Structure formats: C-alpha cells, structure tokens
Amino acid sequence: MDIKRTVLWVVFSFSLLLLWDGWNRHNGNPSMFFPTATPVQPAAAAAGSAPATTAVPQVAGAAPSATEVAGAPVAKGETITITTDVVKADIDTVGGELKRLELLKHRDTVDPTKNLVLFDSGSGHTYLAESGLIGGPFPNHKSIFTARPGARALDNGNDVQLVLESQENGVKLTKTYTFKRSDYVIDLKHTITNDSAAPIAPSLYLQLLRDGSKPGGESHFYSTFTGPAVYTDAEKFQKLTFEKIEEGKEQHANKADNGWIALVQHYFVSAFIPPASAPRDIFTKKVATNLYAVGTILPLGTIAPGASTTMDAKLYSGPQESAVLEKTAPGLELVKDYGWLTIIAKPIFWLMTHIHALVGNWGWTIILLTVLIKLVFFPLSAASYRSMAKMKAVTPKMQAIRERHKGDPQAMNKEMMTLYKTEKINPLGGCLPIVIQIPVFISLYWVLLASVEMRNAPWLGWIHDLAAPDPFYILPVIMAISMFIQTKLNPTPPDPVQAKVMMFMPIVFSVMFFFFPSGLVLYWVVNNVLSIAQQWVITKKMEAGKK
C-alpha cells in the first residue's frame, strides 16, 4: 500500500478546499469551516446619539434578567473628550456612555494614516460601553448627566477624571471615569445616593454593545474570532457567537461572584471587570437588527434614605498584549486565543518574548525562533530525510514493479513490500517525523496570527508590518521557489498523475501565502531554506556512502 501517495493526496485536497473556501468568503459567500458574521445592516445609531432600541436589564422578582426597552426617547447631550498619551475617549452626557475610543498608539487596518477607533457610534458601526441602574425609575444609560468641571487632558499629571451626575426620583447616580497614563484600563466608579424618603434596592448593570460585523480590513483567506466572551472561575473562558445570540441558543455562565465579560476582535479586546467576590448575573442579548449586548448585573443591596453606596469596576479596552492582560484580571489573557493547542502555543510565545528582548526586532525574532525549532526537531527531520533519500534511490525499481503489475494491484503491493523489506525502507519513515512536528507548526501559526505585537512591527527593507501581507510579494515568491526545490529533492512519485500533483503543490501553497501576514510567510521561508540545506547534506552523504 502506497502510504505516502495517500498522505500527499489528502494534503493536496485539503489545500484546494482552503483555496475554494477563501474564494467563497472573498465573494461574500458563507465559509465551510469558519463562522460567518451577521451581515451588516443599518442598525447602528447616528453619530452623537443613542440607539433607538437599547437593551436595558431589569429586575424581575428576585432574578435579574435582560430585556429590551423599545422606543426610548432620544435626548441631546454634550460630548466630552478625554485625552491621555494612549487613548482619546468621547463620553456622552446622555447616559454617560463611552461612545468613541481612539487608540493613539495603533494604526487603522484599512487606512494606516489614521489611528484605530475601537468604540464608535457612527452610521456604519456601533460599539459602546454603557452602565446604569435598574430596579426602579433610576438613572440609566438613557438619562441626562451633568459633568462637573475639571481637566480634560492628562497634561503633566498621571491621571485625569471625569465626574458625571444624574438624579431621578430622589436617587442620584455619580459616574467617575479615571484615565491613567500609559494605561488602557479605565476605572469606572458608580456612587448611588438615596435622597428619597424610602429605602431602595437597585442593581448596577455594565454592558458592552456591538454590531455583529467583522472589523474592517480582515483577510478573506483566514478567519479570526469576533464576538462576546465570558469568564468565570467555575466555567473558565467561554467564546460566544453573534449567530447563537441571534438564534437565542447561546450557552454560558449566568451567575458568579467573579470573572468578567468582554467583546473580542482580532488583536483587541474590551472587557468590563467588576470587583472580585461581588455576586452578579451575566447576560447576552440581541438588541436590534445586527446589534448585540453582553453584560453583567450586580445587586447593590438595600440603601436607606440619606445613605449611599459605591461599586467600583474596571474597563479594559486596548490591545491583546499577554503581559498586560495577565496583570489586569485573572483569565483575561485567554482572549488571545490560540485554539486547542494553547498548551504548546503559550510556551512558544514566551520564548519569542525573551528572544525579542535580546534582538529588539520581531522579524529577527521569528527567524531565530525558527532556527531553534529546527534544532529541536533535527533528529526527527534527519530520520525523515534519510528515509526520503532511500526512497529516491529505489524509485527506478518501484517504477519497474508498477510496469510489470499494471493490471494486478495485489501483486504490485506484495512486491513493493518485499522491496521495502529488502532495502530496509519504512514507507512511513518520511511521514511520521513530519506528522509529529505538525502540532508545533500549527501552534506557531496561531501565535504569529494572534499576537498584536506583530501588528505594525517592521522587519527590514520593504516589510513594514509583519501582520500585513508582503506588499511586493517577494517572500511568497521565495517560498514558492523553496517549495519547488524541496519537491526536486524528494523522490519522484512513480505515478505520473501524482508527480504532476507534486509539481503543482508549490503554486497552490504560494497562492494561499500571497494573502497571509508576512510574519507567517517569513517563518515558512526560513523553515524551508533550513530544511533544504539539511535534506541536501543528508542526501549527499548517503550517496557518497553508497559510492
């Protein structure tokens, strides 16, 4: 049985499937492998105003739940802009909601001349952070707030605060936003004062609102996750999809006294982090057409007349930098999703950070990491190449056997096995070492694809962004040449059809890598060059030994 032929056909068929799937997604058709975001529809609110239909959590009996309030009156407010060294935030006095957040250290994917805008309330995109009170006619994210006077920029200080106040039916809600230097964590304190004549029992809700569309500039040839996420100590990290929320089939932790809720997209995340040990309910909700909410509700207990209570929370909104996320909240680093090979991917990224600390360039880091991985797998690769060299040496004999037994596959396979035994060749010898290395290669693929550190990171010359495709396609062309050389070094398949397939493989893979991030292509180019050198040396030594 020709095991290698089967393996090659499987690889080639899967490559064609990936190309076909990428072509489908490029033309707006659903993917066969990846969840497709809900199509963009004009459900977002106009700039400077709140959505016409908004999810307002309410208390039903003793169990809080999320319900919709439709047709809420649209009030006009003031937009207050807070600027630090890393963010520029717009906060609306209607509801005190964070309606725009510009990251000053990160460039937009579509238009690199502009900064990346994460939160937004424009006509084509909705992404908001909202909070308020439920359990009565209390101030919420539709109420009018008044801003206290104060600084609006960081200037020479280390933090800047914005204090907003709103009062309804004798209950005053004070929101205090605190922005800090070089920090993507925004402290958000809610102070509730009961100036009424009766005790109250409100609950505080924190929610993130977003449309279900993918971020602009996403590649059609590989898919990254965009959607809500929930974390609790008991249920751990749970990714949710807008499609499941749309259908009402989402399943996630509903109650906890720890954890956080978040909205995740490629390279960036926004997460509300309530205080530890505070009991809470967790909800997801479809708010309007192509508009969804994920949030948490925190009971505040009974507040007597004349008394007040405070609830602190944190809002992280910025890049998915592992070291920063780990310090911000337990489990928050899991939003940087490496898939089912996280156990391998995390040590690889840890090693990359240490290499980068020495060389200071992510391109050279990728090259040095590739060399280290090749050294670790050197014995396995050597065994594979020795097996391939032996197969190449007996290829004429294999072709002769095929010619003799064209019409008798059983006799052909029997004589092939005899040949393998005589020449001491393991037909799986060239495949098994490669199969063992596949999990590491896949893990490295996800590390390079998920790491925001590669975004806008230059290597040298024409490569100014390792997270973007090669602008001149030089690396993909070099990769195609290296794959063609590898094909020539490998034994020629006896089957003419199989031989033609192997000749087309470099072209197929090169077309895919034309659209991949240059950091990934750089890894494969270096890996191929090292493999060619190793295979050539081993083949020459074996040929010299036989002579």
Q: What is the pLDDT of residues 182-213, one digit of tens each?
A: 999 999 999 999 999 999 999 999 999 999 99
Dig out the tokens for 286 from the structure: 């479809």
Contact present, 315 and 87 (Cβ < 8 Å) = no
- The pLDDT score that the predictor gives to residue 13 is 52
User: What torsion do the CA atoms of 66, 69, 73, 74 make, to the nearest 10 degrees?
Assistant: 50
- The residue with tokens 């003793």 is 62
User: What torsion do the CA atoms of 492, 494, 499, 502 make, to the nearest 10 degrees?
Assistant: -60
- The pLDDT score that the predictor gives to residue 156 is 84
User: What torsion do the CA atoms of 217, 221, 227, 230 make, to the nearest 10 degrees?
Assistant: -130
Distance of alpha carbon 374 from alpha carbon 68, whole angstroms: 56
Q: Indicate the range of 98-112, 219-233, 353-367 predicted with least confidence.
A: 219-233
Q: What is the pLDDT of residues 359-368, one digit of tens each?
A: 999 999 999 9
Burial of 148 (C-beta count, 10 Å sphere; 0-12/13-18/19+): exposed
Contact present, 36 and 44 (Cβ < 8 Å) = no
Residues 6+ apart with CB under 8 A from 329: 260, 271, 273, 314, 316
Q: Is the pLDDT of residue 53 over 70?
A: no
Reported confidence tier of residue 69, pLDDT bands at 50, 70, 90: very low
How many Å is the Cα radius of gyration of the chain? 29
- The pLDDT score that the predictor gives to residue 381 is 75
- The pLDDT score that the predictor gives to residue 2 is 45
Contacts of 30-37 spanning 24+ positions with Cβ under 8 A: 31/223, 33/223, 34/223, 35/223, 35/241, 35/243, 36/243, 37/212, 37/213, 37/214, 37/226, 37/242
User: What torsion do the CA atoms of 535, 539, 542, 543 make, to the nearest 10 degrees?
Assistant: -170
Better pLDDT: 482 or 22: 482
Reported confidence tier of residue 307, pLDDT bands at 50, 70, 90: very high
- The pLDDT score that the predictor gives to residue 67 is 38
Q: Is the pLDDT of residue 6 over 50?
A: no
- The pLDDT score that the predictor gives to residue 468 is 87
- The pLDDT score that the predictor gives to residue 448 is 85
Q: Is the pLDDT of residue 349 over 90?
A: yes
Q: Is the pLDDT of residue 140 over 50?
A: yes
Q: What is the pLDDT of residues 394-424, one digit of tens each?
A: 777 887 887 788 778 888 888 888 887 787 7
- The pLDDT score that the predictor gives to residue 71 is 36
Q: Is the pLDDT of residue 130 over 70?
A: yes
Q: Is the pLDDT of residue 11 over 60?
A: no
Reported confidence tier of residue 383, pLDDT bands at 50, 70, 90: confident
Beta strand segments in 405-500, E = none
Q: What is the pLDDT of residues 107-123, one digit of tens each?
A: 998 898 999 999 999 87
- The pLDDT score that the predictor gives to residue 332 is 96
- The pLDDT score that the predictor gives to residue 431 is 66
Q: Pick the most confident of 19-33, 183-197, 329-343.
A: 183-197
Reported confidence tier of residue 498, pLDDT bands at 50, 70, 90: low
Q: Which one-letter DSSP state was computed for residue 176?
A: E
Residue type, 14: F
Contact present, 113 and 182 (Cβ < 8 Å) = no
How many CB atoms lie under 10 A from the CB of residue 358? 9
Q: Is the pLDDT of residue 427 over 70?
A: no
- The pLDDT score that the predictor gives to residue 395 is 75
- The pLDDT score that the predictor gives to residue 410 is 86
Reported confidence tier of residue 496, pLDDT bands at 50, 70, 90: low
Q: What rounded mean pLDDT belongs to the chain?
A: 83
- The pLDDT score that the predictor gives to residue 253 is 95
Q: What is the pLDDT of residues 258-305, one digit of tens each?
A: 999 999 999 999 999 999 999 999 999 999 999 999 999 999 999 999
- The pLDDT score that the predictor gives to residue 72 is 44
Domains in the chain, please, with CATH? 3-30+345-546 (no CATH), 53-336 (2.70.98.90)
- Percent over 70 (pLDDT), the chain: 80
* Closest among 187, 371, 345 to 275, alpha carbons compared: 187
